[in-house]
Amino acid sequence: MALTLGAIGVVYGDIGTSVLYAMKEVFGNGHVVFTPENVYGILSIFFWTLTTIVSVKYVALVLRADNHGEGGLIAMLALASTAVKDKPQLRKVLVIVGILGTALFYGDGVITPAISVLGAMEGLEVISPASKSWVMPLTLVILFVLFYVQKRGTASIGKFFGPITLVWFAVLALLGIMHIATNPAILWALSPHHALIFMWTNPHTTFVILGAVVLCVTGAEALYADMGHFGKRPIRLAWFWIVMPALVLNYFGQGALLLKNPQAVKNPFYLMAPEWALIPLLILATAAAVIASQALISGSFSATKQVVQMGFLPRMKIVHTSVKDTGQIYIPLVNWSLFAAIVLAVVMFKTSGNLATAYGIAVTIDMLITTILTFYVIRYGWKYPLWLCVAATGWFFIVDLAFFASNMMKLFEGGWFPILIGGAVFALMLTWHRGSELVVAAQRADAYNLKDFLQSVFVSPPTRVEGTAVFLTTDIDITPNALLHNLKHNKVLHAHNLFVTVRNHEVPWIGMGKRLEVHSLGHHCWQVLINYGFKNDPDVPAALKALYGLGFDIDPMTTSYFLSRNNVVSTPSAGMASWREKLFAQMHHNASDAADFLYLPSNAVVELGSKVEI
C-alpha cells in the first residue's frame, strides 16, 4: 500500500493534472458543435483513449517489458538492442530511434510544467477576472521556487506527494460525482458506440480534435519510466483503483456541466466547483501541478544520467541529494537549462490553451517509438510468433500514428517548439557519440599495444617506486598516454600498476559479483575492467576495494590515479562536418572533470595532457 500511495504521487501527477485543460481544449477550439450527441461522443472518445493507451498498452503490455526490474525508454532501448544484437544494422537503427525518443522527452519536459502550472493558476480568472494579469507572473514565481529547491533534493518533500495527490484524485472524483448526479444518463457515454458514431459522422472533426484528446493521456510514459521505483503491481493497483476512476468521473462530470451550461467551456474544471471552494481548489490544483512538474524534472535528471552512462552526452556534474537513495540526484546544468526553456515557453505562449497547441507532437512520437521498440522486444527477445507480435503492437501503432498525424497539424501553431528543443538535444547526442568514436579511433592510430609495450619496457626496466599507480584508459588494449608521459618525464614505474577501463553496459544494474574483470600482465601489472549498468554510479575507488580478495590491498595513502586529459582539435578530415567537430571540441572542453565523475580522491589524481586531432 505504501508503494501504491507513492506511485499515485510520482507516477500519476502529470496525467492527473490533464483534467485542468484537456476538455477545455477539445470544446473550446470551436471545432465541435455543442449538442448532447457530440458531448456523449467526446466523452466516449476520452474514456476509450484512456482505456486503449493507458490501461491496455502501457499497464497491460509495456509494463511487462522490464529490464531487470527497470523501465523507461532507455531500459526499453537496451532490451530491444540486446534482442537484435545479431543484426548490427538493425541494432544501430533502433539505438538511434531510442535516443531520438529520449531527446524528445526533454521537449515534453519543457511543456508539461509550463502547461500544468499555468492551467492551475488560470483558476484565478474564474475567481476574479481582474486577476488575469497575475497569472503569468505567479506562474513564473512558482516555477522559479520549484527549480531553486531542486538542489535540496526531493526526500524532504517527496513523502507528501502521495497523500496530496491522493486528496487531489478524491476531489476530482467528488466534483465529477456532484455533476453526474444531476444527469446520470451521461454515464451512457461509456459505451463505445457513441465514440464510433461521432467518428463516423464527423471524420474530419475527429481527426482535428485528436490533437487535443491526446492531452488526456499526458504522462502515460511515466507509468513505464517509474516502474523501477515502485514495481508493476503498485502502479497497476493505483491506476485501476484510484487514478482512472477519478479521471473518468471528473471528465464525465465536466461533460454533464457542459450539457447544462455550454458557457462553462471557458474553464469547465474550475466551474464545476461551488464558489466557496474555488480558492482551496486553486491551491490544491497548484500543488498537484507542482508535483506533476517535480516528477518530470526528476525524470529529466535520471534520463540524463543514463544517457551519459551510455555515451551519448558528456560527463556532467551530478549531485547526490540523498545518502540512502542513489536515484535521488540533481544536475545543475539540466535544471537551469530546463528552467530557462520553460520560462521562454510561458512568456511566448502565455496561456495553457496556447501551450496545448505546442503539446502533443513530441509525446506522440515517443509513444510511437515505445510501440516500435516493444515489437522488437517481444519478437526477438521473447521469441513470440510474428503474427502475435504484429497483433499485439499493430493496433497501438495505428492509434499512435493517428494521434501523431493529428498533432502534426499543430506544427506551425506551436508544435515546432518542443520539436526544436528535442532536435537540438538529439543533434548534441549524436555529435558527442560520433566525436567520442573519432577520438578513440585517433588514439588507436597512434597508440602502442599495452602488452607489447610493457614487454619492451621490462627488457630494461625503469626504477620502481613504492605505491600503486592506477592508469585510467578508455581502451583496454592500448597504452595510456599518461603512462607514456610518466615514463618520459619521471622515468619511474610504481611497484604496482593497474590499467583500468570503465565500461558501461545496456543493463540497468551490474552487481558487485560481476563488477571486476582482472587479468595479470606480469611484473606486478594488471588489466582491470570495471563494469557498470546505466543506473550504477561509477565509483572507481569503491570498485577497486574488491581487489583485496584477489591478493593485494589498495592503500589510499600510497595510490595515485593517472588520467590523460585530451585536448581535442578539429581538422579538415572525413570525420564529421566542421561545425560538428568544433561543437564536439567545445562539449569535450566543458565536460565535467573525469576525476569527480569517477569519484577519484582529488589529492591523489595526476593529469597529463595530450592533443588529439579529429
pLDDT > 70: what percent of the chain? 97
> Alpha helix locations (H) across 408-523?
416-445, 450-457, 481-489
Q: Out of 150-164, 330-344, 480-494, which region has the weakest mean confidence (pLDDT)?
A: 150-164
CA angle 285, 360, 314 (to 5 degrees): 95
What is the sign of the dihedral through the CA atoms of 208, 211, 214 and 216?
Answer: negative
pLDDT of residue 158: 61
Residue 152 confidence (pLDDT) above 80:
no
Q: What is the pLDDT of residues 469-482, one digit of tens each?
A: 999 888 888 888 88
pLDDT confidence of residue 170? 96
Neighbours of 167 (CB within 10 A): 13
Please state, in angstroms and rounded to a whole number, the distance separating the CA atoms of residues 431 and 450: 29
Using 50, 70 and 90 to split pLDDT, how confident is the model at 132? confident
pLDDT tens digits, 566-603: 788 887 776 788 888 889 888 888 888 888 888 888 88
In order of their start, the domains of the chain are 2-433 (1.20.1740.10), 447-613 (no CATH)
Per-residue model confidence as pLDDT tens digits over 7-17: 888 788 888 99
- Which of 73-82, 165-174, 326-335 is most confident? 165-174
Weakest-pLDDT range from 84-88, 152-156, 505-509: 152-156
- Going by pLDDT thresholds of 50, 70 and 90, the confidence category of residue 173 is very high
Per-residue pLDDT, 471: 92
- Predicted pLDDT at 595: 85
Q: Tell me, what's the pLDDT at 150? A: 85
With beta carbons less than 8 A apart as the criterion, state whether 266 and 28 touch: yes
Query: What pLDDT is attached to residue 35?
Result: 86
Can you give the pLDDT at residue 242?
Answer: 93
Which pLDDT belongs to residue 358? 84
- Residue 445 CA: distances (Å) to CA of 448, 482, 485: 9, 17, 18
The average pLDDT across 431-444 equals 86
pLDDT at residue 225, rounded to an integer: 77
The whole-number average pLDDT for the span 403-417 is 89
Q: Is the pLDDT at 406 greater than 70, yes or no?
A: yes
The pLDDT of residue 71: 77
**CA atoms within a 13 Å half-sphere pointing along the CA-CB vector of 412:** 1
pLDDT at 280 over 90: yes
pLDDT at 325: 59
Residue 230, classified by CB atoms within 10 Å of its CB into exposed (0-12), middle (13-18) or buried (19+), is buried
pLDDT value of residue 157? 58
| pLDDT at position 155 | 57
For residue 499, what pLDDT is reported?
93
Q: What is the pLDDT of residue 373?
A: 92
What is the share, in percent, of the chain residues with pLDDT greater than 90?
35
CB 597 within 8 A of CB 315: yes
* pLDDT score of 341: 93
Q: What is the reported pLDDT for 323?
A: 60
Measured between alpha carbons, how far is residue 262 from residues 33, 35, 164, 211, 257 in Å? Answer: 10, 9, 31, 22, 8
pLDDT at 498: 92
Mean pLDDT of 512-530: 88
Long-range CB contacts (< 8 A, 24+ apart) of 378-384? 378/65, 379/83, 380/80, 380/83, 380/84, 381/79, 381/80, 381/82, 381/83
What does the pLDDT read at residue 528?
A: 92
Name the amino acid, one letter, at 211: G
pTM of the model: 0.86
532 strand-pairing partners: 504
Mean pLDDT score across all residues of the chain: 87
Evaluate if residue 551 carries a pLDDT over 70: no
Indicate the range of 28-37, 161-170, 204-213, 241-250 predicted with least confidence: 28-37
Q: Is the pLDDT of residue 550 over 70?
A: no
